[in-house]
Structure formats: C-alpha cells, structure tokens
Amino acid sequence: MDWLLRFLEFVLLLIGNIAIGTLGFIPSILITPVNLDRFGLIGGSALSISGEIIGALFGFWLYRYGTKHIPVAWQQSSWFRFSAINPLQAYGGRCYRCASCRLSHQAPSRQALP
C-alpha cells in the first residue's frame, strides 16, 4: 500500500510540474523544493527536469494548435498585423515570436531600472 501512495504522489507532482512548465510564467522553484524533499536529490531533480521538459513541449504544442485556430476577425486586428511586416517571418518568425513571448517574463520591469 505504501508503494501505491508513493506512486500516486509521484504522478501528482509530475502533473504539477508539467502544468507549471506548460504555463511558462510561473517559476518552477515553487514546486522543486517539494520534489527534492519527497524524492531526494536525484529523484526530485529528475522529476523537476522531466516535468519542465514535458511541460515545455506541451506548451509549444498548445501554442501551435492555438495559432492555427485563431478566428479570421482576430487575425485582422492591429495586434496581429505586426507579423506581416516582420522581416523574420520568412526565416522562422513564428519561432522568434514564440521564444520572445516565453522569455518576456524574464525582462526587468521599469521599476527595477535605475
């Protein structure tokens, strides 16, 4: 019975890591200490890294799925028009936009600048 509870805990923490990795803007440091406490240094690190990797892949898949199903009316708005004049569009501009959106939360705010 103890192994079943341990397995269930592992699965729930993995799902939590995948959810955090999928969202991309919640820092994984919130759940990593729990993983390290429950499964030790090696097991907790492996759980955190695998959850982040699977979550990032799932988030990228959701991004691609979502961009294919955007209504035409939304695509004609001014927010989406910047991609038409983007010179990187022919060279993988979609990948650049995805990476910039994923990294935008890492930019310092104006209050942090002197």
pLDDT band for 43, please (50, 70, 90 cuts). Answer: very high
How far is 82 from 17, CA to CA, in rounded Å? 33
pLDDT band for 82, please (50, 70, 90 cuts). Answer: low
pLDDT band for 112, please (50, 70, 90 cuts). Answer: very low
Tokens for 100, please give them.
Answer: 């910039």
Contacts by 26-29, CB closer than 8 A, 24 or more apart: 28/52
Q: Is 66 helix (H, G, I), strand (E, B) or coil?
A: helix
Compute the average pLDDT of residues 11-26.
89
Q: Does 90 have pLDDT greater than 60?
A: no
CB atoms within 10 A of CB 38: 14
Read off the pTM: 0.61
pLDDT band for 113, please (50, 70, 90 cuts). Answer: very low
